[in-house]
Structure 1
Amino acid sequence: MLVYRVPGEPSRLRATVWRRLKAAGAVYLANSVAVLPSSTEAERTLRKLRAEIEGMGGTGQLLRAEALAGQDEVVAAFNAARDAEYDEVLSRCEDFQAELDKESAAGKFTYAELEENEEDLAKLRRWMDKIRARDSLGAPRGEEAVEAVERCARALDAFAERVYAAETE
């Protein structure tokens, strides 16, 4: 658990801390009180951030905490945060499939389109990897999002086959 204070101005300092905590997968129990599931990596992340906060002129206390009551609510908060990220991935997967469908309907079976879609799939996979790394508690929507990304990969493979076929025509 990290309890911290950063100077009120400039506001970018607060935003920097918030972004770092969000990227690590932390949830807030209260203003300036963020928690991560216990792990060596989480401790390292919070120690670095505490040092960064102090470098900004703020203060930070790093605590190891045990839930005596309310643990289910904390777990639910972590899972809700990850599920919200997984929902974004699911939405992007729908957009990815819609783009492939649009290009297929227009007959745009070109290497340029294939390359663009390969880049989009690579971004989706990197994003998924980051979310999965933060999802130490196994949020419910995780498997659905993994399957959706794999469906995107299969759809891209099918699109690639059509690009290759168009080349030989």
Structure 2
Amino acid sequence: PLFDRPWLSTSLSDFWGRRWHQMFRFPLVSCGGVPLAYLFGRPGGVLGTFMMSAIFHIIELRAVGRGSNIAVQVGFFALNGVGVLLERAWAKRTGRRLKGSVYGWIWTFSWMGLLALPVVDEWARVGRFAVDRFPGGFKPTMALLSLVQLPPGVDNGFVLKCLCFGTSLPFLAYSLFTLS
């Protein structure tokens, strides 16, 4: 499947390698991962694949005339590659893998939640989510969100970003620290 329940991911390797969309996996690995793995071993392959994904996203945003902050794109994908390498280093050092554990789930969504906010902000800034498929600019997601009674002081935009990316931990942390 294109997506395989990404919310069940218990490691970054699981999220990116199996559960997030796999449509571009082969070209990203063959164009970025394989050449850099040949030169720098497994770490080069992992980082090469993520860097190729960053390049793909930069080109994609420029192709539709939106542009974007290249540092945010590269940072998001490069740091996800670093996260995958950290998981492997952890498993090698401790003999325990994160995958399959509740700690792995917490790790994955904490990492993704922290890294996703700047890139989702950037995508929203350049209009990646701005589609006018409904007459008069009607936005069904915003209409549904308006039906939910949020606590005073909680920003609808922040909630929407968390829902769009499928992460609930940042919203939970935000709520705990701003509503007390």
Q: TM-score, with normalisation over the residues of structure 1?
A: 0.26
Q: Greater helix percent: which structure?
A: 2
Larger CA Rg, structure 1 vs 2: 1
Q: State the TM-score, normalizing by the size of structure 2.
A: 0.25
Give the number of the structure whose residues are more often strand, by fraction: 1
